[in-house]
Amino acid sequence: MLRLEIVPYDDAWPQAFAAERDRIAAILGPLAVRIEHNGSTSVRGLAAKPVIDIQISVAQLHPLEQYAVPLRTLAYEHMPHPDDSFCPFFHKPNVWPHTHHVHVVRAGDAEETRTLAFRDYLRAHPEVAREYENLKRRLVSEHDAGRLASQQAYADAKGPFVIAVTERAIADGYPRALGNPSATAAVPERPDRS
């Protein structure tokens, strides 16, 4: 069994994100309304799987090919999933371990807000980030990184924590950078895949 791995925070993660953001921005041009570092590697000091999570906000999610084709030139593979209706998911390389995950969302939608609210809340509340880290460390020993179903089970197991923190974050006005446009929108019942 190939275990999921949580590693100590790496100061190189923000630079790795910035380099990839620039590559994605160059290939997508104005199609990318916003490109954000999200997931655990975006929270300074938080141990994480060594995978850079990136959220790309676009004006329209469909047709998917408008960004899937350019992302493919950067070696990103689309992972078809029921979440494609609100958050298509891409990864590279095409086999585990992945180095990068890309989540595409519609700019201004609840999914964009949800993800950034969770990230910003963890950044502002180190004690909550530690709780999240402890939860992830407990869960990784139970899941096989080599099996997609086990990776999904790991994400699902984090779900109640992620949803509770996200609801608290949105109620407290996060994310601040977006002016919290969806503060009154329902938080989608989707665990974070990171």
Q: Cα separations (Å) of 4 from 31, 32, 43, 73, 78?
A: 33, 31, 19, 27, 21
On average, the pLDDT of the chain sits at 87
Q: Which two tokens stand for residue 66?
A: 């408008």
Residue 186 has pLDDT above 60, yes or no: no
CA gap 16, 35 in Å, rounded: 13
Residue 178 or 145, more confident: 178
Mean pLDDT of 92-100: 88
- What's the pLDDT score for residue 176? 83
Q: What is the pLDDT of residues 102-148, one digit of tens each?
A: 999 999 999 999 999 999 999 999 999 999 999 999 888 776 555 55
Whether 175 has a pLDDT exceeding 90, the answer reads yes
pLDDT at 1 over 70: no
- In the chain, what are the domains? 13-171 (3.30.460.10)
pLDDT surpassing 70 at residue 95? yes
State the pLDDT at residue 183: 36
Confidence of residue 185 (pLDDT cuts 50, 70, 90): very low
Tell whether the model's pLDDT for residue 192 goes beyond 60: no
Q: pTM of the entire structure?
A: 0.86
Describe the crossing of helices 13-28 and 65-73 by its angle, rounded to 10 degrees.
Answer: 120
pLDDT > 80? residue 180? no
Tell me: the pLDDT tens digits for 25-61?
999 999 999 999 999 999 999 999 999 999 999 999 9
